[in-house]
Amino acid sequence: LKFLVCFSMYISKKVLKHHFDPHKAPRDAYLLCKLQWGETGTPWIHWVKNDRYHAEVYFLEKIFKMRRSYNYVNCSITWYLSWSPCADCCRKILNFLKKNSNVNIDIYVARLYYIEDEKIRQGLQNLVSLAEVTIAVMETEGKVSHYTFCLKNFIQGGADDDSWTVGFQSEITKNRLKLKDVFEVSRL
């Protein structure tokens, strides 16, 4: 298996629609990223797809190092993931954050990866217990539509047709409740 190294910041609309549909279960995982150094830095967007590496690990070990700035500047990373992180990725994200105290990561997921697995649940609980990490299900409604943001920022030329998300809400609600259950158990 080869890892797809992406030199473009855009993905196709077809990839976005297929891999971020919470009803589907494609094998590949995609990570769409917005990275910003400091309060006024220009956001940098990029994407990766897993093959040989998990997308989260590849981003942290390869892309973040390439885009690294001075350690004293705060860095905000927003990930839109087609799957929530596995247990091993959760551990690697935790280790990364211990070494990079100036970084915070907001993670929005289209679907939950083996959420009944205790190691994965524990990994997600450990991540969300950090002040530097937010984990939530991608939303189509409300103050922020993550799907609309991805459509406008990760598709070349942007796009305004978000009708492809019609019917997502029931699956989003199920995933949000499952994730809430994972996080509430960790607070007991």
Write out the catalytic residue numbers.
Answer: 56
SS3 readout for the chain? CCCCCCCCCCECHHHHHHHCCCCCCCCCCEEEEEEEECCCCCCEEEEEECCCCCHHHHHHHHHHHHHCCCCCCCEEEEEEECCCCCHHHHHHHHHHHHHCCCEEEEEEECCCCCCCCHHHHHHHHHHHCCCCEEEEECCCCCCCCHHHHHHHHHECCCCCCCHHHCCCHHHHHHHHHHHHHHHHHHHC
